[in-house]
Amino acid sequence: MAEAVRFDEYGDLNVLRVVEVPEPTAGPGEVVVRVVSAGINPGESAIRSGALRERWPTTFPSGQGSDFAGRVVAVGDGVSAIAVGQEVIGFTNERASHATHVRVPADQVTPKPEPVSWDAAGALFVAGTTAFAAVRAVEADKGDVVAVSGAAGGVGSIVVQLLRERGASVIGIAGPSNQDWLREKGVIPVVYGDSLAERLHAAAPGGLDAFIDTYGSGYVELAIDLGVKPERIDTIIDVDAVRRFGVKFEGTAAADTIDVVAELADLIAAGRLEIPIAATYPLAEVRDAFRELERRHTRGKIVLRP
């Protein structure tokens, strides 16, 4: 038997439970992976609570989780590029990675480069592809000045590094405890809160070329007030602002391919991208993991270790 996170109704953290389930078998074109690490994401909290029931309805009982990394334990007919025992990074579209085992199409995994840690690999898909899409959406290039809200969060911490890879000057909006980490990444740190517009003016006296919002809470309107053109603003969270201001709303769905995952993994292996890991939890403590996530003050990613 395998173990997996399940919930039978919308609700708070108390609806989550870990149960025994049949170990999956690989069908044609599929692989089964013994999960070593699996990232958790704010979207999973929103789905579980019912906040996204109109957009992404849930059939109960429901599993959860998209990101994972692990070792292949079975391959189905027709699979030749992936072998049993191989270490892989992957994703599932079936809300199923918060488990000891996951079954996915073989084209949804890619070999894990040896230098990439298990925690970074397991946390890569959602945050990494979201960050990739957001950076691409604002067309950031060498010499641009780009501000990022939530700059030390799971997505924001990757966004700022990908922007620096493109040669942009980056202003990272984050709390006091993350200022040193941002400086280490070549980012100009700015503390959020009252009088933020004035601090952004001081950090970028020539103005901002683009803005990426990973946090919500009025940052898109701030970017508009600062003179950033709507077509160079991307938010991954503020749907209302998209309607009001015509800004972009590009995240995981705009870049959710295994090729992007592989590209990001290669950057990590080369030492050009870091996936900060805020904490790891065993599968049995999934409620505690999401409790920490939902405080919205972690640097980087939280990972389950089934």
- pLDDT tens digit string along 257-266? 999 999 999 9
46 lies in the same domain as 107: yes
Instruction: Kindly state whether residues 182 and 168 are assigned to the same domain.
Output: yes
User: Do 68 and 155 have their domain in common?
Assistant: no
Cis peptide before 282 (omega within 30 of 0): no
Q: Which of 211, 238, 253 is the last residue of a domain?
A: 253
| Residue 222 sits in the same domain as residue 249 | yes
CATH code for the domain of 163:
3.40.50.720
Per-residue pLDDT at 292 exceeds 90 = yes
pLDDT at 230 over 80: yes
Confidence of residue 255 (pLDDT cuts 50, 70, 90): confident
Amino acid 76: pLDDT? 98
Residues contacting residue 89 through CB under 8 Å, at least 6 positions apart: 68, 69, 109, 110, 111, 112, 116, 121, 122, 124, 125, 261, 262, 265
Residue 240 in this model has a pLDDT that exceeds 90 = yes
Instruction: State whether 184 and 246 are in the same domain.
Output: yes
Do 48 and 104 share a structural domain? yes
Give the per-residue pLDDT at 56: 83
Tell me: the pLDDT tens digits for 99-146?
999 999 999 999 999 999 999 999 999 999 999 999 999 999 999 999
Q: In the chain, pLDDT over 70 holds for what percent of residues?
A: 100
pLDDT at 293: 94
pLDDT tens for 57-95 read 899 999 999 999 999 999 999 999 999 999 999 999 999
Question: Same domain for 113 and 135?
Answer: no
Confidence of residue 251 (pLDDT cuts 50, 70, 90): confident
What is the model's pLDDT at position 165?
97
Q: Is the pTM of this model over 0.85?
A: yes
pLDDT value of residue 45: 94
Q: Mark whether 141 and 175 lie in a shared domain.
A: yes
Average pLDDT of the residues in 181-206: 97
Q: Residue 287: which pLDDT band, with cuts at 50, 70 and 90?
A: very high
User: What's the CA gap between 300 and 268, in Å, rounded?
Assistant: 14
What pLDDT was estimated at residue 53? 86
Residue 295 pLDDT grade (very low, low, confident, very high; cuts 50, 70, 90): confident
Tell me which of 238, 253, 268 is where a domain ends.
Answer: 253
Structure tokens at 266: 């290669």
β-bridge partners, 34: 71, 101
Determine the structural domain holding residue 89 and report its residue range: 2-124+276-305
Angle at 188 between CA 153 and CA 141, to 5 degrees: 85
282's CB contacts (< 8 A; 6+ apart) are 304, 305, 306
Secondary structure (3-state) at 164? helix
* pLDDT of 274 strictly over 90: yes
289, 281 contact by CB (below 8 A): yes
How far are the Cα atoms of 19, 23, 85, 103, 117 from residue 71, in angstroms, in the given order? Answer: 21, 15, 6, 12, 13
Report the mean per-residue pLDDT for the chain. Answer: 96
